[in-house]
Amino acid sequence: MTYNKLKFGATIGIIGGGQLGKMMAQSAQKMGYRVIVLDPDNACPTQHVAHQFIHAAYDDEAALNELGEQSDVITYEFENINAEQLKKLTTRFNVPQGYEAIQLLQDRLIEKQSISKAGAHVVPFLQITSEDDLKEAGQRLGYPFIVKTRFGGYDGKGQVLVNSDVAFDEAKTLIAQQECVAEQYLNLKREVSLTVTRGVDGSVVFFPLQENEHRNQILFKTIVPARDDHEVFAREEVKKIMKAIHFVGTFTVEFFVDDNHQLFVNEIAPRPHNSGHYSIEACDYSQFDTHIMAVTGQTLPENIELLKPAVMMNLLGKDLDLLEDEFNLHPEWHVHIYGKTSRKPLRKMGHLTQLTEQIEATEQNLVAYFEGRKS
């Protein structure tokens, strides 16, 4: 069978020009592809590393068609693009990722239902549309529980933890604005994630299990290999999900481990993921390399090798304020700065990765820097 194997010199169109688009473009260019990016922000990070930039809203149909006409393949860096528009693009252009995964996963309710139907283990959840539903959630899920908007949430945005009357009112306000789901709040022992790439020919390659710590619901650090023994089970869960949802390219499944050592699927990102950034320096292929290989129809590597254990720390605006004068003193930090023009305390501005044989010591040292206890 022949697939859409693209020769070098072919053009990859990327919808979305944030840091994920930028790192995709860097991998693509290394392999000799041309890159066109579409983004509404005139100063988006990918613009400066792409051959061509289309300045347009994500739902600008004429601009999306222009991207398609100028590209040999279309990919995307984020899931909140309009699934109907993506579907239309699939009828005219080469979009190997399709639109189905986006359609299912951009809605938290459908996402959880699909994962559960696939036979994987999800955190108990309920659909919430009224105050009565909220009360029922308290009875069925117990307190505290967490209310999340069905659409558009990221980095903890659009979530309320309900454990008091005040939070109940906040949740009421949230559901008045948007449809929501309620989810049992777990006592987390750990969070892990599994990054996977699937080729157009159906071949699959797994990255090593990643251990993640969030602070303020934003990823703070990732450690690889994870200090956790769920890797085999996590792969089984992902295989079940892959049977139910059609993926091509790199995607990541986020998991929770509760205090009973049980593994639950949290959510799925149908694109390269923040917890896979360490792979740029620590693995023989990065998650962006394998993504580009997949969407251009190249044969994927059979395995991903972790060349050295790694700690990846996100650099939010506040971390940059604290640490930017330190960077030139630490050659062991592989620093990535995304090139966003406006810096905000909790905005992801970059990340750094340190390769190490002493994970615990490196982790403690880095955390001390990020907490301002070291300089």
Binding site feature residues for ATP: 108, 148, 153-159, 183-186, 191, 214, 266-267
**Shortest Cβ distance from residue 92 to ligand ADP (Å)?**
31
Phi and psi angles of residue 268, each rounded to the nearest 5 degrees, phi first: -125, 135
Q: Which is nearer to ligand ADP, 12 or 105 (CB)?
A: 105
**Shortest Cβ distance from residue 32 to ligand ADP (Å)?**
34
**Shortest Cβ distance from residue 125 to ligand ADP (Å)?**
9
**Shortest Cβ distance from residue 345 to ligand ADP (Å)?**
17
Q: Which is nearer to ligand ADP, 212 or 250 (CB)?
A: 212
Interface residues with ligand ADP (CB under 6 A) are 123, 146, 148, 153-156, 183-186, 188, 191, 214, 217, 254, 266-267
**Shortest Cβ distance from residue 163 to ligand ADP (Å)?**
12
Q: Which is nearer to ligand ADP, 77 or 191 (CB)?
A: 191
Q: Which is nearer to ligand ADP, 144 or 317 (CB)?
A: 144
**Shortest Cβ distance from residue 68 to ligand ADP (Å)?**
28
Phi and psi angles of residue 64, each rounded to the nearest 5 degrees, phi first: -65, -40
The count of other CB atoms within 10 Å of the CB of residue 159 is 16
Binding site feature residues: 108, 148, 153-159, 183-186, 191, 214, 266-267
Q: Which is nearer to ligand ADP, 138 or 153 (CB)?
A: 153
Q: Which is nearer to ligand ADP, 26 or 266 (CB)?
A: 266
